[in-house]
């Protein structure tokens, strides 16, 4: 691969970061850099994201998620139970390790399972449901996805405020996804894994579990994020230094770019007037529509500077993760993973994905309107 090809490959793989960087640079034309730029950047959110991503990498390195999945699925089972578990795994795991990590972990695992039981015809349906499950399950906790983490910190929400708003749509999502998973012809299948995964380096795993607990304490403002960052960085420097290189630093850079972009937009009178008008009319629908175009994470960062209606914005960007493939970055991860499978059918996948997401929006938008009324 030539140098030029490597550059294009990198740009393709980091499309969101590149777009964020272009937006940030373009906004600097209208609002030249000053010392106030520092105030745009939410250091707490960046530190928490770094710590959570690092700890999750530790869990993955120890084989925790693979062992969990194999123990739940192996043996003679009804196909409905297998499909249900495959969908519920990313739903619940995403609450703790983010929606993108859940899909990176369980979509390839699902491909393996369905090939073993000769049910490849169910692959598109299950992967689409897993994608929706990860996006909706992750809204249940402040650490489930980046936009939740940002808005929880930005609006200084309490645990009661956050869970009081998001538990109802999470429960409704769980019920609908469960029904969609089991609406198939019942039959018995046998799941056998040729290579059984075992937990590796259990002493490290115990340390990572403690670090994850500290992350949660920091999210809920019991432990200072600066101290947490030092503890996590030192722990991994000593225990598993190579994992520090695998952290998704591009996501952190993407956040920094969008912080600058949204901060600069907030200084432009014309933008203030337009966005302020839209948000004043309907913050919920504006955040859902914005998510369809620029993805829900940057939508959360951008719109938060123009409204104090945190309920509408939080629900909007979480529910807005449904819809187009770019509405949530996690949806693009699933699509990429599916397209790498043998015999992939992109058009069929997009049709099923679009129908399923429209149904999800049709269920959750009215519910969200009721919750913020």
Residue 27 lies in a domain: no
Q: What is the pLDDT of residues 61-80, one digit of tens each?
A: 898 877 877 777 777 778 88
Conformational region of residue 72, where left means phi above 0, alpha means psi within -120 to 50, and beta covers everything else: alpha
| Burial bucket for residue 71 (CB in 10 Å: 0-12, 13-18, 19+) | exposed
3-state helix, strand, coil in the chain (%, to 5): 75, 0, 20
Q: How many domains does the chain have?
A: 1
In a domain, 299, yes or no: yes
Is 19 inside any structural domain?
no
Residue 188, classed as helix, strand or coil, is strand
What DSSP string runs through 238-306?
A: HH-HHHHHTS-HHHHHHHHHHHHHHHHHTT-HHHHHHHHHHHHHHHHHHHHHHHHHH-HHHHHHHHHTT
Closest CA to 240 of 201, 186, 269, 195: 201
- For residues 64 and 56, what is the distance between their CA atoms, to the nearest angstrom? 10
**pLDDT at residue 98, as a whole number:** 81
Tokens of 2: 């030539």
pLDDT of the residue at 158:
92
- What's the pLDDT score for residue 1? 67
338, 104 Cβ separation under 8 angstroms: no
| pLDDT for the residue numbered 197 | 78
Q: Which domain holds residue 101?
A: 64-198+248-372
Residues of the chain with pLDDT under 70: 1, 13, 15-16, 194
Query: Residue 335 in contact with residue 104, Cβ under 8 Å?
Result: no
In a domain, 53, yes or no: no
- 206 falls within a domain: no
The overall pTM is greater than 0.75: yes
Distance, first Cα to last Cα, the chain: 56
Residue 75, strand partner residues: 191
Residue 108 lies in a domain: yes
Q: How confident is the model at residue 244, as a pLDDT?
A: 94
Question: Quick check: is 48 in a domain?
Answer: no
The answer to whether residue 126 sits within a structural domain is yes
- Gap between the Cα atoms of 346 and 121, Å rounded: 14
Contact 90, 133 (CB under 8 A): yes
């Amino acid at each position: 691969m030539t140098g030029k090809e490597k550059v294009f490959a990198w740009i393709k793989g980091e499309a969101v970061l590149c777009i964020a960087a272009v937006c940030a640079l373009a906004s600097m034309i209208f609002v030249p850099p000053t010392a106030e730029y520092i105030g745009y950047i939410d250091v707490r959110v960046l530190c928490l994201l770094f710590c959570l991503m690092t700890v999750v990498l530790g869990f993955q390195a120890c084989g925790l998620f693979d062992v969990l999945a194999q123990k739940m699925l192996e043996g003679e089972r009804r196909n409905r139970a297998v499909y249900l578990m495959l969908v519920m795994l990313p739903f619940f795991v995403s609450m703790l390790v983010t929606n993108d990590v859940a899909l990176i972990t369980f979509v390839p695992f699902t491909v393996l399972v369905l090939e073993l039981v000769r049910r490849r015809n169910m692959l598109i349906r299950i992967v689409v449901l897993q994608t929706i499950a990860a996006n909706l399950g992750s809204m249940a906790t402040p650490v489930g996805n980046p936009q939740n983490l940002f808005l929880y910190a930005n609006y200084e929400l309490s645990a009661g405020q956050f869970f009081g708003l998001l538990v109802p749509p999470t429960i409704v999502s769980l019920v609908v996804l469960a029904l969609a998973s089991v609406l198939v012809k019942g039959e018995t299948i046998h799941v056998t894994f040729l290579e059984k995964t075992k937990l590796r380096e259990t002493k490290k795993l115990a340390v990572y579990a403690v670090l994850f607990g500290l992350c949660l304490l920091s999210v809920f403002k019991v432990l200072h994020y600066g101290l947490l960052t030092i503890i996590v960085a030192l722990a991994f420097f000593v225990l598993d230094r190579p994992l520090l290189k695998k952290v998704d630093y591009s996501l952190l850079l993407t956040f920094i770019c969008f912080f600058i972009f949204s901060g600069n937009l907030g200084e432009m009178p014309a933008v203030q007037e337009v966005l302020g008008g839209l948000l004043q009319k309907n913050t919920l629908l504006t955040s859902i529509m914005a998510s369809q175009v620029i993805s829900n994470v940057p939508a959360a960062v951008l719109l938060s500077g123009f409204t104090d209606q945190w309920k509408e914005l939080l629900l909007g960007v979480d529910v807005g993760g449904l819809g187009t493939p770019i509405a949530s970055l996690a949806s693009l991860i699933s699509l990429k993973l599916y397209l790498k499978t043998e015999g992939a059918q992109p058009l069929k996948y997009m049709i099923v994905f679009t129908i399923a997401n429209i149904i999800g929006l049709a269920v959750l938008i009215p519910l969200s309107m009721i919750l913020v009324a």
